[in-house]
Structure 1
Amino acid sequence: MDTTESTYQEIELKDLDPRLRKQVENAQKSISRNASYAIDICTNILQREPGCLDVRKILRTAQKRATAGKTSGFSRLLGSVTSAPFAIKASTQLKKDPKAAMESAEKMLSNDPANASAQRMLGQAAEALGLWETAAFAYEEAKAADPKSLEIKLALGNALIEAGRAQDAVHVAGEVLADLPGNDQAQELVKRASVAESMKRGKWEEEGGFRDKLANEEEAIELEQQARVVNDEETVQKLVSRNLKLLEKEPDNMNLYRDIINGYRNLEDYDKALEYLKMARERPTGRGDTTLERLASDLTVQSMRKRIAGVEEQLAAKPDDASLQQQIESLRKEEHDFRLKNARETVEKYPNDYAARFDLGQLLYEDGQFDEAIQQFQQARRNPKVRTRAILYLGRALNATGKSDMAIEQLKAAKGDVIGMSDLKKEIIYDLAIAYTEHGDEDSSIEELKEIYQDDIGYKDVSDRINAYYEKKKKNQ
């Protein structure tokens, strides 16, 4: 991507030309009665001021208003067809003319505001122009449309760091690590965010302040370089040591505790991380912090998984060692049992935490305790963030207990929740196809699989199932 210096800057609505501000006011007033007019106004303003995020947010509201109730399968198909020329154009513009790519992406979003690919393209173009707040907004919208995409989450985390929102970046990285413990890219994101947050807290980025806070010029230069990409243990250890010294002066500073814990976590020294987490929870400011409680559970699981990985390495060198095989099985059971026990305790303590109920349901499902899992998934549907995946697992659990007709109803509902074709949508459609097969409706099963086949021929065994169906059909003719 062309990284030449951009002539565009982020600009707030209040700093726009007064005449443009008046146009924005008119756009806001017209959204409810004439969203298309609002879209035209905002589009014209953004052509002049692509860095005005306030206007872009108003545009997005207008786009969503204009397309409300038009998200049927046919409408989405029609939208994808009419957007195709803009998609091709935008992808070729990214390197040569990022501003034009942003405009093409917005045209796609006017057809379908939930188009994750268009949002991602908008984010990439904003990056090229150095408009990091705009990039973060685009990736946040893309993540909402495709919540399981690792690529989008990592891009969002990077944009948040560049936009000065390091804590938000840590939260995004935490989401990735919750699904993919040990993911290198997410851990790298946490390291970079930790450095950025430390610099921000110390006001090291203020002119003159950065070097004044360090003992000598060489260390200043070294830390300036490391702050851009922190990817080695020595750098992380230096940051931890610095925060430990600061903690001596501010023993109740929870932010310092979090930085220290994250530092040890990045170093994979989970015992040390848990030690300081215990200390944090004993401080007056940490006793009622429920996020620390959840973090303790996550760190314990990561510690267990590190032990499992260590034994797996030994087993790889000695594949016939029965004692190592038994040790791995024992450690895996210990880790699973801990997670299950912790999930039960969390739900008992916080019965209205429906995300926790979803976690418990998954563990019960893995154990084959389907009836209890169904109960948890049914309640977890109340949380919008896990609703779709809760319905997916509810369908799986119903199908596993021979209730394929009920599973079909749930999976159809989950399918309707997801706009566009994403990894989650493929999961749902595949499971719906399996449920139709279990129900004896092979034709409906194949119709579902065709949707995946036309988007991703390599997904699981979809190609084999489709080919077998047509071979069977050919023989019966």
Structure 2
Amino acid sequence: MPEKPLNQLDPGLQRQVEHARTALDRGNLDYAIGLFRDVLRREPGCLAVRRVLRAAQLKRLGSHPGLKEKSYFACRLPGLAWARLVGKRIPSRSMDRAERVLDWNPRHHGAQRCLADAALILDLPETAVFALEGALESAPGDHKAALALARTHLELGRPQDALVILEAWSRRRPRDDVFRDLLKEALVTSSLHAGHWDSDSGTYRDKLRDEEEAVELEKRGRSETPDGSLRKMVVEALKSVEAEPQALSHHVTLIRAYQDLEDFDQALEWLDRARQLQAGASDPSLARRGVEIKVAQLKQENPSEDSIRDLRIVELDRLVSGFPREFTFRFEVAELLRDAGRPDEAIHHFQEIRGAETFRVRAASGLGDCFRSKGLMDLAIEQYRTAGDGLPVMDDLKKHVLYQLAICYEATGEAAQATDAFKQIYSVDIGYLDVSTRIESTYDRS
């Protein structure tokens, strides 16, 4: 199934897209999203519509962060399980089901991975790239998504884009042979493309003067350093910026390349330029990258962990002011302030985001931590109980909540409730902190 541009859609679908755009401009987000979804059910390969749909979903989430969240959390897991089950047999249905999940959480990592897998089955590589980039924004540590994205860029004939990913990940996973081998392939492919040695008029060896030059080319391709490739990328991106000064993508390429080269001054300079563009001014991910660049720059001075944390607090606090509806920034600041022993400031931020269903449980846990540190045990117990009720699975967060709840119960003289909370952890993880000792001492006393 080939990807289809908007102007090649059926005229009726084109009119539907126009209706959806009009609804979007008027702020009727639900109606617009429904129309875009309907178009994609019939033409899943229209990436232009999918991009506008995602923008509408994000806009709705930003305007009404708690909108229909309960319905979403009730159906997301079965929906994704079904989508993965039918992915190979009916990939278009799998894509539609993934979009249903993304309606309520446009940054959902699993849904974007599911969307990408189905797109690749349908031979929609550009759509897969779009979904994999979204997945990596949601979960930057997903090395499998990074590998899939790099491979897809290579298959699309974009070795430079693949190199940006592979060079960064080869440094993060220096012993991973898969990344290292694909990096070598990307370097050779990039060299071939640069010299137009892969055209139809013969093999690249035929186009060189003799066999020795061909062998030398292959050696250079295998031995070219990541820094050398990144500097070539900088040169090409600078030319692209000169040709298309308003294109945000060229600026982002420069920022990433300079960041990987650890030339942080240049990375920040180009980030400032990017944020002056119309497309960059409202991009929270671009602003977030600036924080990481400044932190990486500070780390070159071997600072203390407290200094790094203080810098993050200052920079993220600025992002909170600039993007007040991006609750991820506010949550990060709240956690940093809590860990820095500044509970009053942290409480303010946790209280601001607890109305958003996505952060409700973690905000309650954070509030419990802050109240406990201030000695307000009754308020801490209330928040920990709220958080625990919203955690059906005994994961690390629930263990933390139950443990701190038990500590608060002990402080208020409610020994039976404390023991019950410790037992809940003990029954699934005997090695968690000192739970084993606490439970066994309870039985010894009895």
| TM above 0.5 | yes
Q: CA deviation at 1:100?
A: 1.4
CA distance in 1, matches of 2:21, 2:51: 11
Paired residues of 1:354 and 1:382 also in contact (CA < 8 A):
no
Paired residues of 2:295 and 2:312 also in contact (CA < 8 A):
yes
Q: CA deviation at 1:136?
A: 0.9
1:95 alignment partner, SS class: coil
CA distance in 1, matches of 2:9, 2:268: 52
Report the counterpart of residue 443 of structure 1 in structure 2.
Answer: 381
CA distance in 1, matches of 2:311, 2:79: 46
Q: Which whole-Å deviations, capped at 9, do the CAs of 1:86-115 have from their partners, x for residues lacking one?
A: 323212111222121112112222333333
Paired residues of 1:358 and 1:380 also in contact (CA < 8 A):
no
CA distance in 1, matches of 2:192, 2:271: 39
Q: Which whole-Å deviations, capped at 9, do the CAs of 1:137-163 have from their partners, x for residues lacking one?
A: 112223334445444444333333333
**CA shift in 2, pair 1:443/1:65, >3 Å:** same
1:96 alignment partner, SS class: coil
Paired residues of 1:394 and 1:410 also in contact (CA < 8 A):
yes
CA distance in 1, matches of 2:124, 2:384: 45
Residue of structure 1 aligned with 2:314, choices 378, 381, 387: 378
**CA shift in 2, pair 1:460/1:160, >3 Å:** farther
Gaps of 5+ in 2: 240-253, 273-289, 419-446
Matched, 1:48 2:42: yes
The one-letter amino acid paired with 1:70 is H
1:113 alignment partner, SS class: coil
Residue of structure 2 aligned with 1:128, choices 109, 121, 143: 121
1:99 alignment partner, SS class: helix
Paired residues of 1:429 and 1:452 also in contact (CA < 8 A):
no
CA distance in 1, matches of 2:342, 2:160: 44
Please give the TM-score of this superposition, normalised by the length of structure 2: 0.63
Residue of structure 1 aligned with 2:174, choices 172, 182, 188: 182
The one-letter amino acid paired with 1:357 is K
Q: CA deviation at 1:417?
A: 8.9
Report the counterpart of residue 74 of structure 2 in structure 1.
Answer: 81
Gaps of 5+ in 1: 1-7, 224-234, 245-259, 266-272, 299-342
Q: How does 1:193-204 map to 2 (within 5 A)?
A: 193-204=186-197
CA distance in 2, matches of 1:463, 1:54: 44
More deviation, 12-21/443-452: 443-452
Matched, 1:465 2:413: no
The one-letter amino acid paired with 1:443 is I
Matched, 1:115 2:108: yes
Report the counterpart of residue 475 of structure 1 in structure 2.
Answer: 416
The one-letter amino acid paired with 2:395 is I
Q: Which whole-Å deviations, capped at 9, do the CAs of 1:285-333 have from their partners, x for residues lacking one?
A: 9xxx8877655548xxxxxxxxxxxxxxxxxxxxxxxxxxxxxxxxxxx
**CA shift in 2, pair 1:399/1:111, >3 Å:** closer
Paired residues of 1:170 and 1:189 also in contact (CA < 8 A):
no
Paired residues, number:
371
The one-letter amino acid paired with 1:130 is D
Matched, 1:261 2:215: no
Q: CA deviation at 1:419?
A: 4.6
Report the counterpart of residue 409 of structure 1 in structure 2.
Answer: 348
Please give the TM-score of this superposition, normalised by the length of structure 1: 0.59
Q: Which whole-Å deviations, capped at 9, do the CAs of 1:360-402 have from their partners, x for residues lacking one?
A: 56788962545x8525631354468999887667556644553
Report the counterpart of residue 99 of structure 2 in structure 1.
Answer: 106
CA distance in 1, matches of 2:327, 2:188: 35
CA distance in 2, matches of 1:365, 1:448: 40
CA distance in 1, matches of 2:269, 2:97: 50
Paired residues of 2:29 and 2:60 also in contact (CA < 8 A):
yes
